[in-house]
Amino acid sequence: MVLSSLQNWLSKAPNYTIFRVNKLTNFDINQLQKFLEEQSKELNSALIPDISFIQPDCVVVKQWPTDTVVERSGNEVIVDTICGAAVLRG
């Protein structure tokens, strides 16, 4: 029971992804907006994820709409538990 719920949880994308912005370089939120708009065309999605700042150097990007279909790649990466935990920590 616990294993199946854990597998189900791990197989889904997070609701929010947080990125740290390098403030030593120029960051233009409009470039990110434009990139997401281009991605929405490739993904045939009418909406793009919401973007917000929680700190001057932390951008929060909400999950793509649930009806967005992403093609699976033929490539897979298998990692051990230590690497997987590091990836999940960000």
State both tokens at 48: 């793009």
> How is the chain split into domains, by residue range?
14-89
For 11-68, the pLDDT digits (tens) are 777 889 888 888 888 888 889 899 999 989 988 888 889 999 988 889 999 988 888 8
List Cβ neighbours of 90 (8 Å cut-off, separation of 6 or more). Answer: 18
Q: What are phi and psi of 19, to 5 degrees?
A: -115, 140
- What is the pTM for the complete model shown? 0.64
